[in-house]
């Protein structure tokens, strides 16, 4: 983690230097003048984007991947592609190929009931309140 942080800081500093060099030395050769306040705002925006990307990527790298379809039987997810009879679902932040006996629309909640190879068998998730009605 510390090596990634150090590398991230170094790369952001190099990116900021590149932005400044381009804005102050290269663009004026082509008749483009960037006001200092605009340059400062661009550099602050770039720094903010870099920080957000570092945080998001660090969280993604710390999460345990799910390699075994058996481990997610019974887990709930969301259809990110229409399942008719095959499509994609997102379960625990990961995309999986899935198939179902019923047509499931994009955005509907699904539950994993099994798997064949590396494709999940899913069905539409009905809350207990809906089952009683």
- The domain ranges of the chain are 2-62, 69-127
Residues 50-96 pLDDT 10s:
999 999 999 888 877 666 677 788 999 999 999 988 999 998 888 89
CATH fold, domain 69-127, is OB fold (Dihydrolipoamide Acetyltransferase, E2P) (2.40.50)
What phi and psi, each to the nearest 5 degrees, are found at residue 71?
Answer: -70, -15
Q: Say whether pLDDT at 129 is over 70.
A: no
Check residue 65 and give its pLDDT: 67
Q: Which long-range contacts (CB under 8 A, 24 or more apart) does 124-132 make?
A: 124/100, 125/76
Check residue 62 and give its pLDDT: 84
DSSP 106: T
The strand pair at 119-124 and 94-99 is best described as parallel
Distance CA 109, CA 59 (A): 24
* Token pair in block for residue 111: 């539950």
Check residue 126 and give its pLDDT: 81
């Amino acid at each position: 983690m510390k090596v990634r942080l150090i590398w991230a800081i170094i790369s952001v500093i190099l990116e900021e230097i590149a932005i400044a060099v381009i804005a102050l030395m290269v663009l004026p050769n082509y008749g483009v003048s960037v006001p200092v306040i605009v340059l400062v705002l661009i550099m602050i925006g770039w720094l903010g984007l870099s920080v957000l990307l570092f945080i998001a990527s660090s969280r993604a790298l710390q999460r345990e991947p799910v390699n075994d379809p058996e481990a997610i039987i019974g887990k709930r997810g969301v259809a990110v592609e229409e399942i008719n009879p095959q499509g994609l679902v997102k379960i625990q932040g990961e995309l999986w190929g899935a198939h179902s006996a019923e047509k499931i629309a994009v955005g509907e909640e699904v539950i994993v009931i099994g798997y064949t190879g590396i494709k999940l068998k899913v069905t539409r998730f009905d809350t207990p309140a809906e089952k009683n009605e």
